[in-house]
């Protein structure tokens, strides 16, 4: 890799290349008429751990003042380094000063921004807004871009405290909590670090296979079904993931769920085949926030007409719901861990970097407490990275998934006490800095649309010009990207008055409805808990954008050409009458004519992204792999820090799988780290 200076990066032919690559706008400042500089004050920014801003004041021949805003850097390291560098730059009258040991990212950012300020003062051509969003890496002589976030920082050479444990766990989300608990239950001493003031869990859907609860309710996945699940997932992910990862999940997630829920012995297990009243909650009295922990299947029982083998995109009923959410279970687990003498639970504690011993084994981590003190944690058995995803780091998303910027609705963002976003990919960075391989394929966005007023049921879909464009019989994750690639980034779901009689042939799965009831209280709890599978006419009508007595009126309200919509519906009705979709291949029993008023049209533009689910390459035992796909001794990863699970898509074949993986593989990572699995 070429050792390019930032001045080269911002000037001359390299700057010209960047202008093409980033669409940058260049600003030529007037050359100073006298002296070295044009007197004035200039600012520039660069990316360190956060955004660093340098403001410098010049007279005709010297730098007279240097101010550095490094408030986004690591307290006690980057912030102190910035103060030192300001004095050094002023003394040296140059940006070419030595980096501060242990704060290389901040040092480089300060030097880059200072160099840009000097170039501006000299009247040289500089990228406007010199770098915060554009200059965060270098191109080598072969034209390959190398992002700064993959560049290891200088090794930390001094610390305030040192402690010895068996297992170190970075992050206390669902995966980290399970890793900490598993290692402690194995009798090992654990140090767990979480950057926020408490643990971080969300939602309550967990994808598992053959938990005791599922089996007790009559839901059992035989060996053939388990292998069908694995084969469908491998095909959906183009055979890029490690099949051993999926095999472990289908064979061991059930026992992991039993272990997870054992932390709440007073949990109430609902019968998904009975109504709320039959479960003891008459007349809408079920309250998921009444202080109890409830467990129920999600979207099971299935549509009694369902035949998963006939589906081009089967969605299996693996999901178990915990209400009010995972927090209810994790509060109990964390209360136990905080009182366990084997566990050191450290909130408001940032992981700075990992280190290896002389043999090349990952041997521990450096962390920083809220007071700025640095602790060296020696982990004799292993290190577990469970730091979540990188959805809040725009540079990482730009590098790994430009497509993610098309999605405006990002959810599940957490913040530290000082207001900084989490989910910055710290686990991926920590692993990469010690030689771990980052998932090399197109990275995966967890994205869903929940469809129209009848969810993702495969009724007629048209684009914003009134034209049909696909086989509608796919899940919401696929519809998300069709929305983003359609005119106006919206679709329309269209059906007619006869939809209640047509639902019985619809699929079971993510945001699908296969039955109408008069009242939600008539639903089985497996549908009632998430209001899925069954619905009411009132709910459908409330969720429909337009209901009209004529197609002409419908087209007018949709603001699309009537002749286009009419031609599309005429063709669709002919295909329904023929019983064969020669245009897009949708199965005939879901090919219903749009013939009887009133006519329904629902706008679908709701694309949500929850997180990125690609990370460090791991094997089926959570062991992190290097660039040659060899195991890095002592290093494990779980949750969304782990990769090798998905490839570009997050399939709804098995729902709740992200949490199912976090729980199952968090447990496995903790167990394997405890036993020092090599």
As a whole-number percent, the residues of the chain with pLDDT over 90 amount to: 76
Contact 424, 73 (CB under 8 A): no
How many whole angstroms from its chain centre is CA 201?
Answer: 13
Angle at 16 between CA 10 and CA 20, to 5 degrees: 115
Q: Which of 405, 387, 385, 409 is nearest to 395 (CA)?
A: 405
DSSP for 444-473, written as a single string: PEEEEE--BTTBT---EEEETTS---S---
Q: Tens digit of pLDDT for each residue in 550-581?
A: 999 999 999 999 999 999 999 999 999 999 99
Residue listed under structure tokens 């191109």 = 139
Query: Nearest 5°: phi and psi at 417?
Result: -65, -25
Q: What pLDDT, in 10s, does the model give residues 377-389?
A: 999 999 999 999 9
Please state which of the ranges 72-81, 149-158, 276-285, 479-488 shows the lowest mean pLDDT. 72-81
pLDDT of 20 above 50: no
pLDDT band per the 50, 70, 90 thresholds, residue 25: very low
Please, which pLDDT band fits residue 78 given cuts at 50, 70 and 90? confident
Query: Are the CB atoms for 565 and 555 separated by under 8 Å?
Result: yes
In degrees and rounded to multiples of 5, residue 529 shows phi and psi of: -60, -30
Report the pLDDT value the prediction gives residue 125, as an integer from 0 to 100: 55
CA distance 188 to 11: 55
User: Exposed/middle/buried for 1, CB within 10 Å: 0-12, 13-18, 19+?
Assistant: exposed
Query: Is 91 a residue whose pLDDT tops 70?
Result: yes
Summarize the confidence of residues 599-610 as an average pLDDT.
93
352: enclosing H helix or E strand: strand 350-356
Q: Which of 72-76, 201-205, 665-669 is predicted with the least confidence, judged by mean pLDDT?
A: 72-76
The tokens for 597 are 């008023």
Q: How many other C-beta atoms can be found within 10 angstroms of the C-beta atom of residue 580?
A: 13
Residue 98: phi, psi to the nearest 5? -75, 140
Please state the three-class secondary structure of 619-670 as a single string. CCCCEEEECCCCEEEEEEECHHHECCCCECECCCCECCHHHHHHHHHHHHHH
Contacts of 219 (CB under 8 A, 6+ apart): 297, 300, 317
pLDDT digits (tens, 9 = 90+) for 491-510: 999 999 999 999 999 998 88
Tell me which residue of 461, 172, 530 sits closest to 334, measured CA to CA. Answer: 172
Span 465-475, average pLDDT: 95
Interatomic CA distance for residues 551 and 594, integer angstroms: 9
Whole-number pLDDT of residue 326: 96
Give residue 133's pLDDT. 43
Query: How high is the mean pLDDT of the chain?
Result: 90
Asked if 320 and 208 count as a contact pair (C-beta separation under 8 A), the reply is yes
- The pLDDT assigned to 229 comes to 97
pLDDT of residue 102: 65
pLDDT bucket at 412, cuts 50 / 70 / 90: low
β-strands 268-269, 137-139 pairing: unpaired
Q: Which residue has the higher pLDDT, 409 or 619?
A: 619
Report yes or no: 126 and 38 within 8 Å, Cβ to Cβ. no
Distance CA 9, CA 362 (A): 35
> In degrees rounded to 5, what are phi and psi of residue 382?
180, 165
CB-based burial of residue 34 (10 Å sphere; 0-12 exposed, 13-18 middle, 19+ buried)? exposed
Please say if the pLDDT value at position 1 is more than 70: no
Of residues 11 and 316, more confidently modeled: 316
Q: For position 134, what pLDDT does the model report?
A: 52
Q: Across residues 158-171, what is the average pLDDT?
A: 98
Helix/strand/coil for 283: helix
Q: What distances in angstroms separate CA 577 from CA 441, 504, 572, 592, 600, one per listed residue?
A: 44, 19, 9, 9, 20
Spatial contact of 346 and 325, defined as CB atoms under 8 Å apart: no
Q: Is the pLDDT at 130 greater than 60, yes or no?
A: no
* Mean pLDDT within 403-415: 81
Helix, strand, coil percentages in the chain from 3-state DSSP, rounded to 5:
35, 25, 45
More confident residue, 251 or 1: 251
Take residue 586 and report the two structure tokens written for it.
């949708």
Listing DSSP states for 126-176 in one string gives EETTTTTTT-SEEE-TTS-EEEGGGSPPPPP---SEEEEEEEEEE--SHHH
Query: Which residues, in sequence order, are CB contacts of 79 under 8 Å at separation 6+?
Result: 70, 71, 73
pLDDT of residue 401 exceeding 90: yes
Tell the residue number behind the tokens 């009458």, with chain if given: 577
C-alpha 318 chain-centroid distance: 21
Residue 89: CB partners within 8 Å, gap ≥ 6?
Answer: 56, 63, 66, 95, 97, 110, 114
639-671 pLDDT, tens digit each:
999 999 999 889 999 999 999 999 999 999 999
Q: What is the pTM of this model?
A: 0.81
Q: Are 173 and 391 in contact (CB under 8 A)?
A: no
């Amino acid at each position: 890799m070429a050792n390019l200076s930032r001045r080269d990066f911002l000037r001359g032919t390299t700057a010209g290349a960047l202008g093409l690559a980033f669409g940058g706008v260049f600003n030529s400042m007037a050359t100073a008429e006298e002296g070295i500089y044009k007197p004035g004050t200039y600012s520039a920014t660069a990316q360190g751990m956060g955004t660093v801003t340098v403001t410098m004041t010049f007279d005709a021949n010297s730098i007279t003042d240097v101010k550095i805003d490094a408030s986004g850097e690591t307290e006690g390291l980057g912030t102190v380094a910035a103060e030192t560098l300001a004095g050094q730059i002023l003394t040296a009258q140059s940006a070419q000063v030595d980096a501060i040991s242990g704060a290389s990212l901040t040092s480089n950012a300060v030097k880059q921004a200072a160099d840009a300020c000097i170039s501006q003062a000299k009247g040289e051509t500089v990228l406007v807004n010199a770098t915060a969003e554009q200059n965060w890496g270098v191109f080598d002589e072969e034209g390959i871009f190398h992002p700064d976030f993959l560049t290891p920082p200088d090794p930390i050479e001094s610390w305030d405290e040192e402690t010895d444990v068996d297992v170190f766990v970075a992050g206390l989300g669902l995966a980290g909590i399970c890793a900490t608990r598993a290692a402690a239950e194995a009798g090992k001493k654990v140090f767990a670090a979480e950057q926020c003031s408490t643990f971080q869990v969300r939602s309550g859907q967990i994808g598992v296979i053959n938990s005791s609860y599922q089996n007790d309710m009559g839901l059992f996945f035989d060996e053939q079904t388990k292998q069908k699940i694995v084969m469908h997932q491998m095909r959906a992910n183009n055979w890029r993931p490690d099949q051993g990862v999926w095999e472990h999940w289908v064979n061991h997630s059930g026992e992991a769920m039993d272990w997870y829920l054992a932390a709440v012995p007073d949990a109430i297990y609902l019968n998904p085949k009975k109504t709320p009243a039959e479960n003891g909650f008459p007349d809408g009295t079920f309250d998921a926030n009444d202080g109890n922990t409830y467990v129920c299947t999600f979207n099971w029982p299935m549509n009694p007409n369902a035949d998963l083998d006939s589906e081009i995109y089967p969605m299996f009923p693996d999901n178990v719901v915990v209400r009010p959410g995972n927090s209810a279970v994790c509060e109990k687990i964390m209360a136990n861990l905080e009182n366990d003498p084997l566990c050191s639970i450290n909130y408001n504690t940032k992981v700075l970097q990992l280190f290896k011993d002389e043999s090349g084994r990952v041997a521990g981590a450096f962390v920083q407490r809220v007071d700025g003190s640095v602790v060296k944690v020696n982990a004799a058995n292993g290190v577990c990275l469970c730091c979540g995803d990188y959805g809040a780091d725009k540079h990482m998303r730009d590098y790994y998934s430009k497509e993610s910027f098309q999605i405006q609705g990002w959810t599940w963002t957490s913040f530290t006490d000082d207001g900084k976003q989490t989910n910055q990919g710290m686990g991926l960075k920590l692993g990469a800095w010690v030689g771990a391989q980052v998932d090399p394929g197109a990275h995966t966005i967890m994205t869903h649309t929940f469809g129209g007023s009848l969810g993702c049921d495969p009724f007629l879909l048209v684009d914003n010009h009134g034209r049909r464009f696909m086989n509608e019989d796919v899940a919401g994750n696929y519809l998300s990207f069709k929305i983003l690639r359609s005119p106006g980034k919206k679709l329309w779901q269209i059906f007619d008055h006869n939809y209640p009689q047509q639902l019985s042939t619809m699929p079971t799965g993510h945001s699908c409805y296969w039955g109408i009831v008069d009242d939600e209280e008539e639903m089985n709890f497996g549908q009632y808990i998430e209001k899925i599978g069954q619905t009411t006419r009132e709910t459908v009508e409330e969720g429909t954008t337009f209901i009209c007595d004529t197609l002409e009126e419908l087209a007018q309200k949709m603001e699309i050409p009537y002749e286009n919509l009419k031609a599309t519906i005429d063709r669709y009705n002919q295909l329904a009458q023929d019983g064969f979709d020669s245009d897009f291949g949708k199965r005939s029993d879901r090919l219903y004519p749009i013939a009887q008023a009133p006519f329904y049209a629902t706008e679908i533009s709701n694309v949500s992204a929850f997180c990125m689910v690609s990370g460090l390459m791991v094997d089926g035992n959570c062991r992190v792999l290097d660039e040659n796909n060899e195991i890095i001794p002592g290093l494990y990863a779980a949750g969304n820090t782990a990769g090798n699970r998905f490839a570009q898509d997050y399939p709804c074949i098995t729902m709740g799988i992200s949490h199912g993986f976090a729980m199952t593989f968090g447990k496995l990572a903790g167990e394997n780290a405890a036993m020092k699995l090599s």
